[in-house]
Structure 1
Amino acid sequence: MEISATGRLEVRITAADVGKRVSVRRLNDPPREGEKFTDTVGVLASWDAGVLLITRKTGETVRIAESSLVAGKVVPSAPARRRGPAASYAELAHITTRAWRPVESERLGEWELRAAAGFTRRANSVLPLGEPGMPLDEALAAVRSWYGERGLPAYVQTATGAEGTQELLCAELERRGWTREVSAELWIGALAPLADREEPAGVVLSRAADEAWLARYQRKGLGEVALKVLGSGPSVWFATVPGDGEVPAAIGRCVVDGRWAGFAAVEVDPALRRRGLASAVMAALAARALDEGASAAWLQVETDNAAARALYAGNGFSAHHAYHHYREPDSEPGNSGSDR
């Protein structure tokens, strides 16, 4: 907190600091037992009519009455990373979208509208990198019209928690009644430690998702659209660990794109978990990615998936930023499953 030379807490932010990362302390009203103050760190999204909106790195927007402030200051826009490869949000946003391409896309200024018949939110949402080339309300109306023509609910994919992410857009969407439906995190790490693990045995790599691989994949009733999305990317590899029957014991997918290798769809037969199969799949895919010149890795994991988070943390990954899917007001949730 900001403390003056006299030792008093001071509020050293104003409405002119909207868009900056701030740290504030406010009085609890009503007071909580043993907790007189609450501290909040995030991007100052707005300061209107005596109310501050601060978007935390998790994407949560906090409303704070100006009258409750006791201290506040501007803080560095993004804390320094302590481990893992250096990467900007913009670089990762482009890398991840190239690894999961829609069947149809269209530009709206610097925004990309993406559609794939409803297969996953990632392939059926707007990626708002930069400006749409028109006022926000007009842009959102165009977005809703575009998805409506395709019989799909409109989603906007935003990110928070890193330099250059979209905390301000999150607050504006929430102000307009858009619902944050899903949040997850993008984690990054070095690639070599994955491949340096014990040599995986019995992992089969292929360029296409065959019937056996699809039998283990969590999404059922796959059509041509899903196969196109799964097969999209600069250099795509599928890993399979054969099981006792027709359904594999474990599977995984990796897309190599320059220095980056992106992992997805790492799934294991529930009866065979905690036997190292997921790590074996990732190690085999990592070794292939290293052969193709990659050195860094990324993956996406939902915030409530404790088992996956423990696995990836154990393999040297850590969170880079959070991302969210906002659904248009007055619409039914899309049937896009857990592929975010």
Structure 2
Amino acid sequence: MALSETDLTIATSDGTVRVPLDEVHRAKRVPPTRRPTAADVVAAEIAANEAWPAPVQETQGGWLLRAAGGWTGRANSALPIGDPDRPLPAAIDAVEVWYRAHGLPPRMNVPLPLAAPVNAELDLRGWTTNPLTLFQTAQVAAILESAPDRHDLPAVRVRDRMTDEWLAVAAARKGTPPAVARHVLTAVPEIAFLEVYGEDGAPIGVTRATVTGGGEWLGVALVDVVPEHRRRGLGSHLVRAAARWGQEIGARRAFLQVEEHNAAAVALYNRLGFTTHHTYLTRTAPS
């Protein structure tokens, strides 16, 4: 965009458009969005790792190698968030050896733009790419201020232990999870399992909340509502309840991860005040 004494020039996908100033009724100059620092991305990723803990974890310099029997990409991928203490090609070679030794396909969750050089090297090696994931954040206070409380909806129950009923709703799309999933889902000191129940006494919506990162970060995951009860606002009802729980513990910032193409979920989280902090790609080595 450019501004002269007579015109406002705007670059669009169809080319440059000039608008006479006397036809502009209102305008506001918006500064460019500030990118998070590398240190902030690393801190957020560490908090997210603590919130989704793989039972097997090793370090390779500043990289983290994680294995959980193949259950979920996050718990079975390397996280390149620092210096691997060796040249990049050798570091990726070591990742491939480590995962194959654990009976898993070599996989990496590559934060962008932080680990762009890693992503470029994986391109050269022909690693496949999953859909882009958005790492979104919000101030906990902003989530609570995003909408009034919904007293017309069932109250949210907050438990410190996972129940079989909660797991049945959370795992409905992917089937019964393996035993290792219980470690990933529960091995966090500050954790809550939230449920909303229907009139028949069965859970109709769930989510999971954690506080990690030294008490700074509220993590929200597995927001799910059974199909026949969707479009009632239960998803945001659950997230706001998670925010209240996190605020009571002292968390100030919240994060979640959502695939970019999941438009309904992205829209829900945007309404709650979440914006994209950074992105990541899940890359898998050729078989």
Which TM-score bucket, shorter chain as reference? Answer: 0.7 to 0.9
Within-5 A mapping of 1:1-340? 80-81=33-34, 88-161=40-113, 165-196=114-145, 197-198=148-149, 201-218=154-171, 219-245=174-200, 247-257=202-212, 258-329=215-286, 331=287
Partner of 1:19: none
Q: Structure 1 residue 112: deviation in Å?
A: 1.0
Q: Structure 1 residue 246: deviation in Å?
A: 6.6
Work out the CA distance in 2 between the residues paired with 1:248 and 1:269: 8
* Pairs aligned (count): 250
Partner of 1:56: none
2:57/2:64 contact within 8 Å kept = yes
Report the residue type matching 2:128 in the other structure.
Answer: T
1:44-82 superposed Cα distances (whole Å, 9 cap, x missing partner): xxxxxxxxxxxxxxxxxxxxxxxxxxxxxxxxxxx5439
Work out the CA distance in 2 between the residues paired with 1:292 and 1:240: 19
Report the residue type matching 1:172 in the other structure.
Answer: E
If the length of structure 1 is used for normalisation, what is the TM-score? 0.69
Work out the CA distance in 1 between the residues paired with 2:228 and 2:125: 45
1:185/1:302 contact within 8 Å kept = yes
Work out the CA distance in 1 between the residues paired with 2:166 and 2:201: 10
RMSD of aligned residue pairs (Cα, Å): 2.3
Indicate the SS of the match to 2:131: strand
2:71/2:178 contact within 8 Å kept = no
1:168-207 superposed Cα distances (whole Å, 9 cap, x missing partner): 2111110121111232101111112333430564211111
1:109-143 superposed Cα distances (whole Å, 9 cap, x missing partner): 22111000001010000011212222222222221
1:233-288 superposed Cα distances (whole Å, 9 cap, x missing partner): 34111101113557511000111121211111000011111101111111211111
**Identity across aligned pairs (percent)?**
37
Q: Structure 1 residue 94: deviation in Å?
A: 1.1
Work out the CA distance in 2 between the residues paired with 1:90 and 1:214: 30
Structure 1 residues 97 and 172: CA distance shift in structure 2, 3 A: same
Indicate the SS of the match to 2:168: helix
Partner of 1:43: none
Indicate the SS of the match to 1:288: helix
Give unpaired runs (5+ residues) of structure 2. Answer: 2-13, 16-31
Indicate the SS of the match to 2:195: strand
Report the residue type matching 1:81 in the other structure.
Answer: R
Q: Structure 1 residue 92: deviation in Å?
A: 0.8
1:17-61 superposed Cα distances (whole Å, 9 cap, x missing partner): xxxxxxxxxxxxxxxxx87xxxxxxxxxxxxxxxxxxxxxxxxxx
Report the residue type matching 2:149 in the other structure.
Answer: E
